[in-house]
C-alpha cells in the first residue's frame, strides 16, 4: 500500500516539475527600435543616387520609396532612420558626396512594432462642401479683370493646378474644338496628361476630386463659362490627398513626399514638352486656418525631432529646393495670400508657400502672391479690398475673391458661390496664361519670365487706380499688356 502511494506521489511530482518547466517565463524581448520617417532630398545624378541609397542602414527598408524623373537631378528618397543619424546625414561624408539638400521628418515609427487593435464602430461625420448651389448668374469676376471672351485665350500655355484633383466630367471642363469639317463643336476636355502623387505609404489614388477645391480653382483658370483663359491646357496635379484621420470624407492633406513628387513631375513635364515660358503653376494654398478642408501646406516637416534648428526647418521644405529651378525653367508660380484677415506676415509659422516671397527669400522677385477684392457694398460697379483677405506687404495684386461662381465638384452641371483668395490666385493664373500665350517672353529673356510677370503684375491697375488698405496700396488685376 505504501509503495503504491509513493508511486502515485512520484508521478504527480514529475507532472508538477514538467508544468513548471513549461510555464517558465520567457526571456525579455528586445524593445522595438524607434526611428523617424524621413524624406531625403538630393541634387545628384542617377549613379550617385543609387550609391547613396546603398550606403544607408537597411533597418527601415520596408518604408523605402524612390522619387525621381528622367533628366531631373532633384531626387528624393523616403525611408526610416534613427533620428540622430538622419540629422547628421547632410553634413556627413556620405551626404556631401551625394548632394543631400535637406531632410524632412514627418513621423516616428517603431521597427517591427507590436500588433495594434483599432477601435471599430466609429461612423465618419458627414461633411458637405461649402457654398450654395446657384445658376451661372452674375460672373462679375470676368468683367472686373477684363477677361477675354475668346475660347482661344491662353492657347498653347500649360497651367498646372497643384491641388485636390478635378471633376473632369463637369460641363465647365468642356471646350470648343474644330471637328473634321473645320466647324467648332463642344467636346469634353481630355486630361491625358495629369499627375497624382503617392501618399505617405506609397499608395496611389485616382484623379477624382473628393474635396472640391481643385475643381473650383481649375474652373476659374480655364473652364467654360466661368474661366478666365478658356484656351489653356489645364493639367491637374493632385498633391492634396484624402485624409481619413478625422473620418471626414472631404478632408485632404499634403506630405513632404506629395509636394516633392508633384513639383518634380511639373518640372519634368515642362522640360519634356518644351513649355518654358508657356507654363504657370497655380498653388492656391494660402490660408492657415482652413481646418474644414485642411488645404494648407506646412512650412516645415520637423515635428518628429526635438529642438529643430532654423536651418533644419528651412531645408525640410521641398518648395525651397524647387522654386529656384522652376524659375530657371521659366515656370511662373502663383499662390494665394490667404483669407485669415491679418496684415502681419509670420513667415516661420505660415502654412502657405507665400512665405518664400518674403524679403530675402528665394521667391522674393518671382513668386506671385494674390490677395482678394470684392464688389463695393455701396456701388456694385466698383471694386474694393475684401476685408477677409490677408493684406501682407508681400501681396503683389488683388483679384476677385468674394461671391465668385465656380464649378461644384460632386455634380456635373452644378455651380456654387464661394469666397476665397484661392479663387483670386486662380483668376490671376488665367490672366497670366493669356499674357504668356500672346507674347514670347522666354525668347526675350530666358530664365527671367517669372521676374517679368511679377513686375508687370505689380504695375497694372484698373483705370490706373490702386486700392489702399491699412496704409498699403495694391493694384487691381487687369488683363496684362505688352509693356515688358
pLDDT at 2 over 60: no
- 384-393, pLDDT tens digit by residue? 999 999 988 8
**What pLDDT, on a 0 to 100 scale, did the predictor assign at position 32?**
59
pLDDT of residue 113: 58
Give the start-end residues of each E strand in 113-203.
Answer: 133-134, 158-163, 174-178, 184-188, 195-196
Mean pLDDT across 283-306: 65
What is the rounded distance in angstroms from the CA atom of residue 315 to the CA atom of residue 292?
28
Of 138, 217, 214, 141, which is closest to residue 402 (Cα–Cα)? Answer: 141
Mean pLDDT (the chain, rounded):
82
- Mutual angle of helices 449-459 and 421-438, in 10-degree steps: 120
Q: Does residue 172 register a pLDDT over 80?
A: no
Q: What is the mean pLDDT of residues 284-312?
A: 69
> How far is it, in rounded angstroms, from Cα 225 to Cα 282?
20
**238-264 per-position pLDDT tens digit:** 998 887 665 566 677 888 999 999 999
Range 397-425 average pLDDT: 88
Report pTM. Answer: 0.85
Nearest CA-CA partner of 228 in 478, 483, 395: 478
The pLDDT > 70 percentage for the chain reads 75
Region 32-59: what's the mean pLDDT? 93
* pLDDT tops 70 at residue 12: no
Question: Could you read off the pLDDT of 329-375 as tens digits, one per residue?
Answer: 999 999 999 988 887 766 556 667 898 999 999 999 999 999 999 99
Nearest to 338, CA basis, from 405, 396, 389: 389
Quick one: pLDDT band at residue 4, thresholds 50, 70, 90?
very low
SS (H, E, C) 351-367: CCHHHHHCCCCCCCCCC
What domains are defined for the chain? 34-110 (3.30.70), 133-475 (3.40.50.200)
Neighbours of 109 (CB within 10 A): 16
pLDDT in tens, 432-464: 999 999 999 999 999 999 999 999 988 765 445
For residue 428 the three cell numbers come to 490671376
Mean pLDDT of 407-425: 84
What CA–CA distances, in Å, run from 432 to 123, 292, 477, 482?
45, 30, 10, 12
123-144 pLDDT, tens digit per residue, is: 444 344 455 555 567 899 999 9
List, by residue number, the catalytic residues: 163, 213, 422
Average pLDDT over residues 255-275: 96
Residue 185 has pLDDT above 90, yes or no: no
Return the minimum-mean-pLDDT range out of 21-30, 443-452, 454-463, 465-474: 21-30
How high is the pLDDT of residue 114?
Answer: 58
- Tell me the pLDDT band of 173, cut-offs 50, 70 and 90: low
Amino acid at each position: 500500500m505504501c509503495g503504491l502511494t509513493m508511486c502515485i506521489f512520484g508521478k504527480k511530482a514529475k507532472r508538477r516539475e514538467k508544468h513548471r518547466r513549461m510555464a517558465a517565463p520567457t526571456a525579455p524581448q528586445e524593445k522595438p527600435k524607434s526611428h523617424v520617417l524621413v524624406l531625403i532630398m538630393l541634387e545628384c545624378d542617377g549613379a550617385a543616387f543609387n550609391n547613396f541609397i546603398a550606403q544607408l542602414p537597411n533597418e527601415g527598408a520596408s518604408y523605402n520609396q524612390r522619387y525621381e524623373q528622367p533628366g531631373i537631378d532633384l531626387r528624393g528618397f523616403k525611408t526610416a532612420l534613427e533620428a540622430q543619424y538622419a540629422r547628421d546625414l547632410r553634413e556627413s561624408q556620405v551626404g556631401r558626396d551625394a548632394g543631400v539638400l535637406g531632410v524632412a521628418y514627418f513621423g516616428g515609427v517603431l521597427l517591427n512594432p507590436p500588433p495594434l487593435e483599432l477601435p471599430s464602430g466609429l461612423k465618419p461625420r458627414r461633411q458637405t462642401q461649402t457654398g450654395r448651389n446657384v445658376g451661372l448668374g452674375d460672373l462679375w469676376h470676368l468683367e472686373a479683370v477684363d477677361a477675354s471672351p475668346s475660347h482661344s485665350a491662353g492657347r498653347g500655355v500649360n497651367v498646372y493646378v497643384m491641388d485636390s484633383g478635378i471633376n473632369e466630367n463637369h460641363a465647365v471642363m468642356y471646350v470648343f474644338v474644330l471637328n473634321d469639317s473645320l466647324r467648332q463643336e463642344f467636346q469634353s476636355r481630355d486630361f491625358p496628361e495629369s499627375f497624382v502623387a503617392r501618399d505617405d505609404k506609397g499608395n496611389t489614388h485616382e484623379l477624382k476630386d473628393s474635396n472640391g477645391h481643385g475643381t473650383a480653382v481649375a474652373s476659374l483658370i480655364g473652364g467654360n463659362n466661368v474661366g478666365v483663359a478658356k484656351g489653356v491646357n489645364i493639367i491637374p496635379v493632385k498633391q492634396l490627398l484624402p485624409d481619413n484621420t478625422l473620418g471626414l470624407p472631404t478632408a485632404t492633406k499634403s506630405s513632404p513626399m506629395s509636394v516633392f513628387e508633384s513639383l518634380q513631375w511639373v518640372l519634368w513635364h515642362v522640360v519634356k514638352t518644351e513649355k518654358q515660358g508657356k507654363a504657370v503653376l497655380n498653388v492656391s494654398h494660402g490660408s492657415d486656418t482652413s481646418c474644414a478642408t485642411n488645404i494648407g501646406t506646412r512650412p516645415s516637416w520637423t515635428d518628429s525631432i526635438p529642438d529643430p534648428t532654423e536651418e533644419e526647418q528651412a531645408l525640410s521644405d521641398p518648395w525651397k529646393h524647387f522654386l529656384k529651378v522652376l524659375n530657371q525653367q521659366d515656370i511662373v508660380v502663383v499662390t494665394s495670400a490667404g483669407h485669415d484677415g491679418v496684415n502681419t506676415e509670420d513667415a516661420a509659422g505660415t502654412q502657405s508657400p507665400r512665405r518664400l516671397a518674403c524679403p530675402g527669400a528665394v521667391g522674393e522677385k518671382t513668386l506671385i502672391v494674390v490677395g482678394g477684392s470684392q464688389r463695393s457694398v455701396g456701388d456694385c460697379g466698383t471694386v474694393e479690398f475684401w476685408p477677409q483677405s490677408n493684406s501682407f506687404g508681400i501681396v503683389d495684386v488683388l483679384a476677385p475673391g468674394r461671391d465668385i461662381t465656380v464649378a461644384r465638384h460632386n455634380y456635373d452641371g452644378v455651380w456654387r458661390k464661394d469666397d476665397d483668395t484661392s479663387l483670386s490666385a486662380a483668376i490671376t493664373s488665367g490672366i497670366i496664361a493669356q499674357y504668356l500665350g500672346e507674347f514670347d517672353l522666354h525668347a526675350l529673356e530666358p530664365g527671367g519670365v517669372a521676374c517679368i510677370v511679377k513686375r508687370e503684375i505689380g504695375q497694372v491697375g484698373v483705370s490706373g487706380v490702386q486700392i489702399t488698405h491699412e496704409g498699403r496700396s495694391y493694384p487691381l488685376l487687369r488683363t496684362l499688356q505688352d509693356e515688358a
